[in-house]
Amino acid sequence: MILTHVVACSQNRVIGAQGGLPWSLPEDMKFFRETTKGHIMIMGRKTFDSFNGRALPNRYHIVVTRDPSKQSFNSTESSPVVFVASIEEAVKHAEPLTAKWGDEVFIIGGGEIYKQAMPITDKIYLTLIHREFPGDTYYPEIDEKVFTQTERRDIETPIPFSFLTYLRK
Ligand SMILES: NC(=O)c1ccc[n+]([C@@H]2O[C@H](COP(=O)([O-])OP(=O)(O)OC[C@H]3O[C@@H](n4cnc5c(N)ncnc54)[C@H](OP(=O)(O)O)[C@@H]3O)[C@@H](O)[C@H]2O)c1
């Protein structure tokens, strides 16, 4: 299993504001959709809530919450949603599913989950927006002793940003 973060963050490391994204970048959303399609996604309960009650099509959702018994969701076969009590449990749950849903499992946030999952992360797809945004949720600094940047693609519109890939050394 490869554990990969997919994240968009601003120059000042902001990833969220008031439960949502502080920007609208259609090209980044397209990248997110194409990258995660058909795969397992692990996320925090607050990030799942930001989907406003809609599971994303053709993805297996594993939602981390301290009280899974409090949560419920009518999921479908093509977009399952399960609730688990820890990141470790999320990874264990994903393991036997990778044959069907792919060996690359995506950690899609938010701030709490990215931070806690960093030590077990193999790869990072970081969309770095070259602007500062106000917000209340942050992405941790990537330790350059641990990760090395392997790819970079610069985009200029509607605001300058870069698609970066990092791999654990
Ligand atoms: N820019 C991006 O790429 C991106 C990506 C994703 C999200 N976001 C943004 O980030 C914000 C949400 O991030 P967030 O940090 O506030 O929340 P989050 O990480 O999405 O979810 C936090 C919740 O996860 C559960 N949790 C966290 N650690 C846990 C653990 N060790 N064991 C069990 N459950 C655990 C808890 O749920 P319970 O309270 O239910 O116990 C906690 O309240 C939103 O603004 C969202 O739009 C941005």
Instruction: Map out the domains of the chain as residue ranges.
Output: 2-168
| Cα dihedral 96, 101, 103, 107 in deg (nearest 10) | -100
40-44 β-sheet, strand order: 81-84, 60-64, 40-44, 104-107, 2-10, 123-129, 161-168, 147-155
Residue 18: helix, strand or coil by DSSP? Answer: coil
Indicate whether residue 7 lines ligand 1 (CB < 6 A): yes
pLDDT at 97: 98
How far is it, in rounded angstroms, from Cα 97 to Cα 92?
10
pLDDT at 78: 93
Indicate whether residue 29 lines ligand 1 (CB < 6 A): no
Mean pLDDT, the chain, whole residue set: 97
The structure tokens listed for 12 are: 């000042």
Indicate whether residue 86 lines ligand 1 (CB < 6 A): yes
**If you classify domain 2-168 with CATH, what class do you get?**
alpha beta
> Which residue numbers in the chain have pLDDT < 50?
none
Length of the chain (residues): 169
Indicate whether residue 15 lines ligand 1 (CB < 6 A): yes
pLDDT at 72: 87
* Ligand 1 atom showing the smallest separation from residue 18 Cα: 45
